[in-house]
Amino acid sequence: MTGFLILAFLILVAGVVAVPLASRFGLGSVLGYLLAGMAISPVLASLRVNVEALQVFAEFGVVMMLFIIGLEIEPRRLWAMRGKLAGLGGGQVLLTTLVIAGIALIDRQPWQTALAIGMVLALSSTAIIVQTLTEKGLLKTEGGEASFSVLLVQDVAVIPILALIPLLALPELGGAAASGEEVHGGIDLTAQMSGWLAGLTRVGAVAAVVALGIFAIRPLFRYIAKANLRELFTAAALVVVIGIALLMSLVGLSPALGAFIAGVVLATSEYRHELESDINPFKGLLLGLFFITVGAGIDFELASTIWGSVVFWAAVTIAAKIAVLLVVGWLYGLRKQALWLFCLSLPQAGEFAFVLIAFAVGNAVFDQAFADQLLLIVALSMLATPLLFILYDKLIAHAYCTGQAPDEADVIDEENPIIIAGRGRVGGIVDRMLDAAGHRATVIDYNSQHLENLKKFGITTYYGDATRPDLLASAGIERARILVVALDEREQIDKLVRYACTNFPNLHVVARAKDRDHVYHLWAMGCRDIIRETYDSALRMGRSVYEALGHDRQAAIAMVDAWEEMDRTSMREIADVYRLDIPAYENEALLAKIRELKAEWDPKLRDAMDEIAARGR
């Protein structure tokens, strides 16, 4: 018991320390977990922890993740993705296998070994990619959906790969075929069946999952819900996921694939959101554990002796997969940021490579020394993936999302008293309002695709980065009366407001703020006309709630006005003690002012509300 507690404590501490640090430096949670595993690897070795066994357990987090993703994809949406599944997914697996096998042949590997290497490295990491895309909000973008389609096909491709590897055995290695139990870590009922019978059994298992989801699981949850016990519903959700994973494992299929199918079947269920909320905590913990075990499983002693070869072949693998992904994605119609997201998401090897490499060793396709080197290549490629996402975020998304390079801004050939920076959902409305009143504004935006669409409606907008002083000068900022800052990103808003307020004190700057803290931040920079982007809609919602509670329209409006007056007055006082160099939660003067105002205003506001409500009766 003590050993288990030490292990659990060590892993949790490593994750809790490493992940926030990695996220703070923009590295993402996945790389944080991997680094945490690498950091505690020597300690796990000294405790004689079986990292591989721990990794097999942690891989269940991938199963839960696919189940949750399935819950978010209705069957008709999956059917609509059939083209991506066949074209992108099938093309990627086939071409990547051939290209990497060809590289291995050039390296003088036997053709059997080369083909096995190609199949192993053709697969990508579902855990890393889906987790990262979800964190960044990119999973439902064009590039994210294309990546996910490929991952689904790869999960299915594992089945024929497992069937083909034994046929590639090298007589000189003299290895015996691995059993289903060795491969899957359990019992495979189809291992001794003929090919056609095994296939029928697997098709029957998939059909059983679909039938259970339609006819059995929903009645089960209705029955469980009657008990009104939250923990019982959580247990039932775990039973469903574990049971389906077990069924898939028994017939030699990917448990993650079975969980995904079950999730799709239940996507229209009234219990979908509750299932998702119950499974999510387990998924997050197990995925974190999986990434930690990947980092801890790296053989640093071997890596130190052959690091040059490992780095070289990992780079070759990533480059080859990116090249294939570029071709496949381009042929399928992906362009610009979607194509680059697709290419930079999938070039690593996947977690299933660990299983396939062990299977290849058992079937006399790889010798153990070569397998150890290949495992290091797989681990290094997985470690490189978060860095590729950073490359996408910092360089490619910024440059290619606009469709133009940053130094190719339009030449602004007009000068107006009003400049609007950003013509999205905020700046667009401001521009239309000004135009309706007969005021002409110079509008600058850096999303070229959006600008091309606006041109079709006869709307003139200039392409460029509105934070660039030279572009602002060409727009006539020195002679402008008003600058409307309606950019989307807080960093860009801050940069432009600071520049405008510092260099043009007579310019009236109207700035969009992301939240209350951002208001204080912009105020401290010198801006005096700041609009919170969700503030007015929140006031209107609050008024609707007052009316729903029985207050008439005039009383509800008066109550909202009273609250708004208090909020604006208090914010002005708080802004005076806000400091740019101290985080709000560490500014003692600011915290004291907030407590003081709360004690002063709460009773006054409550009395005012009661008086208004009494008049409304």
Predicted confidence (pLDDT) per residue in 266-303, tens digit: 877 777 777 777 787 787 788 788 778 878 877 888 88
- 530 vs 119: CA distance, rounded Å: 57
- Ranges 164-178, 287-301, 440-454: which has the least confidence: 164-178
Burial of 509 (0-12, 13-18, 19+ CB in 10 A): buried
Q: Give the architecture (CATH level 2) of 2-396.
A: Up-down Bundle (1.20)
Q: In the predicted model, what is the mean pLDDT of residues 409-423?
A: 81
What global pTM score does this model have? Answer: 0.57
Number of neighbouring beta carbons within 10 Å of residue 82: 10
Are 573 and 597 in contact by the 8 Å Cβ rule? The answer is yes
pLDDT band at 72 (very low <50, low <70, confident <90, very high): low
CB 100 within 8 A of CB 117: yes
Q: Extract the tokens encoding 457.
A: 């409606």
Q: Which of 23-27, 145-149, 414-418, 523-527 has the lowest mean pLDDT?
A: 23-27
How would residue 403 be classed by pLDDT, with cut points 50, 70 and 90?
very low
Residue 164 to residue 145: CA distance in whole angstroms: 29
The amino acid at 589: A
211's CB contacts (< 8 A; 6+ apart) are none
Residue 175: DSSP 8-state: P
236: Cβ–Cβ under 8 A, 6 or more apart, which residues?
Answer: 220, 221, 224
Compute the average pLDDT of residues 75-92.
77
Using 50, 70 and 90 to split pLDDT, how confident is the model at 606? confident
Which of these ranges, 276-280, 307-311, 398-402, 448-452, has the smallest mean pLDDT?
A: 398-402
Query: Mean pLDDT lowest for which of 52-66, 385-399, 474-488, 540-554?
Result: 52-66
Q: What gap in Å lies between CA 239 and CA 184, rounded to an integer?
A: 20
Q: Would you say residue 409 has pLDDT above 60?
A: no
Residue type, 476: G
Distance in angstroms (rounded) separating the CA atoms of residues 377 and 320: 14
State which CATH number among 3.40.50.720, 3.30.1490.20, 1.10.3720.10, 3.90.76.10 fits the domain covering 403-533. 3.40.50.720
Q: What are the two backbone dihedrals, phi and then psi, of residue 22, each rounded to the nearest 5 degrees? A: -65, -40
Reduce the DSSP state of residue 178 to 3 states and report it: coil
Dist CA 205 CA 199 (whole Å): 10
Interatomic CA distance for residues 599 and 281, integer angstroms: 38
* Number of helical H runs and strand E runs in the chain: 29, 6
- The β-bridge partners of 445 are 463
**Which two three-digit tokens encode residue 181?**
């139990």
Span 456-481, average pLDDT: 82
